[in-house]
Amino acid sequence: MFMGVPTMYKALANHFETLPVGIRPSTAESASALRLAVSGSAALPVRLADSWTSITGTPLLERYGMTEIGMALSCGLPVETRLSGSVGWPLPGVGVRLVDDEGDTVDGTGREGELQIKGDSVFTEYWNRPEITASEFQGEWFKTGDVATRGSEGEYYIKGRKSVDSM
C-alpha cells in the first residue's frame, strides 16, 4: 500500500519517464504489486491519475481529509466504476456542505464553494489559539479552506485552495 500527495505521484511518474526504456517494464511490474495507492491532501489532476495508472496498472484512490477533521470523504466504488477526479462522498457521521463567499450554501447548484465539514471526527479547537479557532468555524461547521464542486450523484470534486485558487 502506498499513500501520497499528488506532488509525490508526479515526481514518481516523471522519474519513470527518465528511466532507460529497457528497465521500465520491470519497474512498472514492481509498482503493479501495490494493492492500493491513495492520493490525498490536494486536488489530483485527472491526467496525473491516468498517467500513474498507465505506468503501474494500479489506479489511484482519491480521498479527502486533513489533520483537523480526519478522513471525511472517499470514493469507495469498485475500480471500474470510480468517478475520475472525484474524492467521493462523505463517510458515515460526516456532514459536508459547500458555501460561497457570502456564506450561502451552494450544494446542488453546480457552483464552486468552500468545503465545510461537521461531525464527531472534527477537532474542537486549535490548542491555546481561541481567536483562530473562532475564525475557522461557522457555527458547528469547520471551514476547510478548500474549494470544491458537487456532482450530479452527490460526489465531490476538489478544485484547489481558497487562499490561492479563488472561487
For 42-59, what is each residue's pLDDT tens digit? 888 989 999 999 999 888
The pLDDT value recorded for residue 166 is 54
Confidence at 91, pLDDT banded by 50, 70, 90:
very high
Work out the percent of the chain whose per-residue pLDDT is above 70: 98
Nearest to 13 by CA among 64, 49, 61: 49
CA 107 vs CA 16, 31, 104, 156, 157: distances in Å: 40, 38, 9, 10, 12
Separation CA 32–CA 95 (nearest Å)? 35
Euclidean distance between CA atoms 95 and 107, whole angstroms: 12
Residue-wise pLDDT for 96-135, tens only, equals 999 999 999 998 888 999 999 999 999 999 999 999 999 9
pTM metric for this prediction: 0.83
